[in-house]
Amino acid sequence: MTPLVSRLSRLWVIMRKPRAAAGSGHRKQAASQEGRQKHAKSSSQAKPSAPNACAGMISECPGAPAGLARQLEEVVLQASVSPYHLFRDIAEVTAFQGSLLSWYDQEKRDLPWRRQAEDEVDPDRRAYAVWVSEVMLQQTQVATVINYYTRWMQKWPTLQDLASASLEEVNQLWAGLGYYSRGRRLQEGARKVVEELGGHMPRTAETLQQLLPGVGRYTAGAIASIAFGQATGVVDGNVARVLCRVRAIGADPSSNLVSQQLWSLAQQLVDPARPGDFNQAAMELGATVCTPQRPLCSQCPVQSLCRARQRVERERPLASQSLLGSPDVEECAPSTGQCQLCLPPLEPWDQTLGVVNFPRKASRKPPREESSATCVLEQLRARGGARILLVQRPNSGLLAGLWEFPSVTWEPSEQLQRKALLQELQRWAGPLPATHLRHLGEVVHVFSHIKLTYQVYGLALEGQTPVTTVPPGARWLTREEFHTAAVSTAMKKVFRVYEGQQPGTCKGSKRPQVSSPSSRKKPSMGQQVLDDFFRPHISADAPSLNNAAQ
């Protein structure tokens, strides 16, 4: 019996033992069952062998511990993958770790969450600081996150502080950061830690993912490795790009097979002595050197181990002859069929792209397009202090719990649109003059999966009896209060159109920008002299073009 088959057999025996599984474990198993079956099928097609016969064991053990199930998946996966996409031995892994960590010690950016994690002695506060940063950094650039993170930690320095905050406060501070459910889930998790876990964060990636709402595999691994020193690998977009290039993985990184391979590589590479630093180093490398479009290969600390870089060197006409037969320049040579980790047959190597051939972009569905009409209803008062009507969105779905201008679904005709929007406004503010409703332009805002076009209307109430009461879910705010309220970036765009009082004052508008004579910049003295010199002479008693037209 080979060592690989022996290891599979031992894992299978352990997993077959009766075990009372937690409910969440069953849900995870059910959610991943289809993907595992697909993986087992693809593995058997890629390389028929004895280990692949054991792939069915995974689906036979719904009560297996998550850690053992993952180990079994990794063993089966490695049995079906060409060695070209793996690290050959421990020496290669050690070289990768040492080079990457040495580079990180010298080149890492000074970021507030890193300082917080390094200086904090209390493990729960340290884990909380890492947790906040990792949630904010999802789908958001570092430069944007820094100010938000600093304000957040000043306002809620501990889990207990965040747990006692209101959702309104969380949404207000999060406004403009996008993906608003992240802030809500973060607060839900803080409350669970304080109320159900005695104020102590779970200490392992497995328990973090199991117990905390909104914490997935990546976030759990980041917290566990950085805050608690657990030797667990992580894969985010930056790490995936690094690994795909280092091991020349050109298949769709979002596919189940490639995703499993990347996680397996990350776990193989993580330095057990400095897991947190290693994971941050891998992310840092992808963010600053191994970038999506213009990677700085000459500055890469692991370029000697990079299969993509080796492929570039081999493809160079002048270097190809000298590199023939070199043991350091390898190709994937699967025994049968097309390797499922290589570049797709229909998208072969493009010499003009170089290392950017890896990874190929995953196919993404275009965002669905939706339209709505929204109105800025402003109540003008004689002594100033105008107020704007805002209504709160539902507690679930897109932009849950945030405040917005009254809006309705787009109607096919202008008449129907005005009627529907006026009815919505009257539902919140009572009788209103329909003649004052003006169309101002449009705003296009793209969310993660929706391209939403807002037709922007404005209605100013002047000289009318002020609205003193509003139903629950609505409120009147001053302009100053609006800019600090929990409103989305899309609503701030809408308000800029209203403030301009002219169509086209927003980037998303398709109408031309119009400026009034009073708003135009006065030319300099020198410019006035030039204008007067080249302006055609017109007699003082000649009729103007406007008068002539009349």
pLDDT per residue as tens digits for the range 176-212: 888 888 999 999 999 999 999 999 999 999 999 999 9
Identify whether residues 269 and 353 lie together within a single domain: yes
Domain that holds residue 239: 85-314+339-357
- Cα(478)–Cα(322) distance, rounded to whole angstroms? 73
**DSSP strands (E only) in 398-437:** 403-404, 407-409
Mean pLDDT of 4-29: 41
Note the pTM of the prediction, 2 decimals.
0.70
Q: pLDDT category, 31, cuts 50, 70, 90?
A: very low
pLDDT at 279: 98
- Cα(83)–Cα(248) distance, rounded to whole angstroms? 11
Identify whether residues 387 and 303 lie together within a single domain: no
pLDDT per residue as tens digits for the range 274-291: 999 999 999 999 999 999
Q: Specify if 111 maps to a domain.
A: yes
Identify whether residues 442 and 461 lie together within a single domain: yes
Mean pLDDT of 339-359: 87
| Amino acid at residue number 28 | K
Identify whether residues 349 and 421 lie together within a single domain: no
pLDDT at 333: 63
DSSP assignment of 322-369? HHTT-TTS-----SSS--TTS--TTS---TTTGGGGSSPPPP-PPPEE
pLDDT at 483: 87
pLDDT per residue as tens digits for the range 60-83: 344 445 555 555 555 545 556 788
Q: Specify if 221 maps to a domain.
A: yes
Identify whether residues 353 and 375 lie together within a single domain: no
pLDDT per residue as tens digits for the range 84-136: 899 989 999 999 999 999 999 999 999 999 999 999 999 999 999 999 999 99
**73, 134, 206, 424: the active-site residue:** 134
Work out the number of other CB atoms within 10 angstroms of the CB of residue 492.
17
pLDDT at 5: 44
Q: Which of the listed residues 330, 357, 384 is the one where a domain comes to its end?
A: 357
Q: Find the CATH number of the domain harbouring 471.
A: 3.90.79.10
Identify whether residues 310 and 448 lie together within a single domain: no
Identify whether residues 90 and 201 lie together within a single domain: yes
pLDDT over 70, % of the chain: 71
Q: pLDDT category, 379, cuts 50, 70, 90?
A: confident
Q: Specify if 71 maps to a domain.
A: no
Domain count of the chain? Answer: 2
Identify whether residues 279 and 387 lie together within a single domain: no
H or E stretch including 379?
strand 368-379
Identify whether residues 384 and 467 lie together within a single domain: yes
Highest mean pLDDT among 315-319, 409-413, 507-511: 409-413
Number of H helices, E strands in the chain: 23, 7
Active site residue 34: no
